[in-house]
Amino acid sequence: MAQFLNQVTDRCNLFLGYKKEDRSTDYELEKRRYLMKKLKFDSYDGVCFLNGLVFFAPVALLVRTQAGVSEHVFFLLQALLSGVIFLGEIPTGFITDKIGYRKSLILAQVLLLGARSLLLAAFVSRSLALFVVEAVVEGIAACFTSGTGSAYLYNLYGENGYLVKTAHAENFGIAGFIISTVAYAGIYKISGMEGLLITTVVMDIIAVVCSFFLRSESSKTIIADRKEVQILAIFKNKKAFLFVISLAIFSIAWLLINFFYVVKLENCGLPVEWMSLIILSYSAVQMLSEPILGKLSDGKNGKSGRGKLPAVTAAAAGVAFLFFGVVKFRAAVLLLMLILPLLLNLPEYLLMNLENQFVDEAECGSQRVAMLSVLNMGVNLVEILTLSASAFLTKIGIQWCFVFVGCFLMAIALLFARIQK
């Protein structure tokens, strides 16, 4: 009878999120499996969903230009945002490893709410100074989320559950984005730009409240022995360079999807008005990443089979980008527009999982976010080079940017294959 009551108590504690100090490894594994099977929706999913509800996203540029900010100044503000993220990556990474992932995520949500509130105030007052402050605050918020969400989920769900949970949470963000995109036109018609901004701020307030219900990560993440680690020494490892280059290429690939799909439509003689429907459609297709990764990483393919996934998925994305750059057949263009984001998501999620495994191999788990932040700094530097190359390629045709990214993705696939060997 006592054993039965203990089992019931343990199950209740699992469901409610309570922890016992003397949990065994087997218990932690059981807990992670239970979370993956039973808790289909949690507060982290809720935060992702609410963060996806950016109602002003389709007219983000107009928020600035209608307030008197020129396009030239707009790009300077984006440069300021990038500069703040670059400078803040390592300091905020160390802070996160000190205070814990959950507290860092809460702080990021509070800062994001502050940034969105400043954006509303800047638009209403037409104040350039407030736009500058907003860019700085948003950059700091981005620093606290950089690597933290990945480390948080990896800590809670482990190597096996991380991929599916990441895709699962991202799908809620995509769902939020789809809803806000659909609702955008109606809100804008009724209450204008102010209505879009106010509605987004309200969602951010709810997101802050929701973040306080995030599960606490394992205490060993915070109280683990903090041996001195030469963080920058990670770049002596060839894997670190592969992560940096790969993430930079993924970033450029997303930039091409987000900003130059419309150019491809024009070049193929297709109506630009189709863009909204295309965005909604490929966002829905992206949500297939969760079941696909679940099937690929369920263990039935064996360890060697799972090891080949990054190379195979990166190669598939590379071929698709390359083909998209040169093809002009309209049906093929539209089909590729729908599947490219999904094909890009798969190797990106797998790479994020490999990053966390890399941190474990380096025995730097207690400084996980700091390590990931250093890698992200490298990504920012590589992005500058790839953006410069892309700027040159646009002079001879935007299609060559897609070809350029496709070739890089296939090269990355080959490097992944070599590393697994």
- Give me the tens of pLDDT residue by residue for the chain, a chain 421 residues long: 334 334 433 443 433 343 443 444 444 445 445 444 444 678 899 999 999 999 988 777 788 888 988 766 776 787 788 778 878 877 887 888 788 889 999 999 999 999 999 999 999 999 999 999 999 999 999 888 877 887 888 888 876 677 788 888 888 998 998 898 888 888 988 999 999 999 999 999 999 999 999 988 765 444 344 444 455 555 566 677 777 778 778 877 887 787 678 778 888 888 877 877 888 888 889 888 878 877 776 655 555 556 678 888 899 999 999 999 999 889 999 999 999 999 998 888 888 777 767 766 655 555 566 666 666 666 666 666 665 565 565 666 778 888 988 998 999 888 877 766 5
Domain range annotation of the chain: 29-216, 232-421
Tokens 């199950």 correspond to 11
- Whether the CB-CB separation of 188 and 62 falls below 8 Å is answered with no
37, 369, 32: which is closest to 215 by C-alpha? 32
User: Of 28, 2, 66, nearest to 159 (Cα)?
Assistant: 28
One-letter identity of residue 53: L
Task: Return the pLDDT at 176.
Answer: 92
Q: Is-contact 64 131, C-beta < 8 A?
A: yes
Residue type (1 letter), 132: V
DSSP state of 100: -
pLDDT at 387 (0 to 100): 56
Going by C-alpha positions, the residue among 62, 152, 27 that lies closest to residue 99 is 152
Contact between residue 127 and residue 414 where contact means Cβ atoms under 8 Å apart: no
Identical fold, 29-216 and 232-421: yes
Tokens 């863009």, located at residue: 275
CA distances 393 to 100, 386, 400, Å, are 43, 10, 6
Q: How far apart are the first and last CA of the chain?
A: 52
Question: Which whole-number Å values give the CA distances from 55 to 64, 119, 239, 304, 355, in the listed order?
Answer: 15, 13, 39, 44, 32
**Domain 29-216 CATH superfamily:** MFS general substrate transporter like domains (1.20.1250.20)
d(CA 307, CA 317): 17
For residue 335, what are the contacts with CB-CB under 8 A and spacing of at least 6? none
**Angle of the 275-286 helix axis to the 330-361 helix axis, nearest 10:** 40
Supply the pTM of this predicted model: 0.67
- For helices 101-125 and 43-52, the axis angle rounded to 10 degrees is 20
232-421 homologous superfamily? MFS general substrate transporter like domains (1.20.1250.20)
Q: What are the distances in angstroms from CA 13 to CA 10, 31, 216?
A: 5, 10, 13
Cα 304 from Cα 404, distance rounded (Å): 30
* Per-residue confidence (pLDDT) for residue 277, from 0 to 100: 83
pLDDT score, position 251: 79
Q: Measure the CA–CA gap between 342 and 283, rounded to whole angstroms.
A: 8
The DSSP 8-state label assigned to residue 59 in this structure reads G
Q: Return the half-sphere exposure (C-beta side, CA atoms, 13 A cut-off) of residue 340.
A: 29
- Asked if residue 419 lies in contact with residue 260, where contact means CB atoms within 8 angstroms, the answer is no
Q: Where are the alpha helices (DSSP H) in 268-329?
A: 275-286, 289-296, 302-307, 309-326
Q: 216, exposed or middle or buried, with CB in 10 Å at 0-12, 13-18, 19+?
A: middle
Name the residue among 90, 322, 358, 361 with its Cα closest to residue 241. 358
Distance of CA 222 to the CA centre of its chain: 24
DSSP letter at 298 equals S
Please report which residue ranges of 212-237 form alpha helices under DSSP H: 220-223
Residue with tokens 């280059």: 245
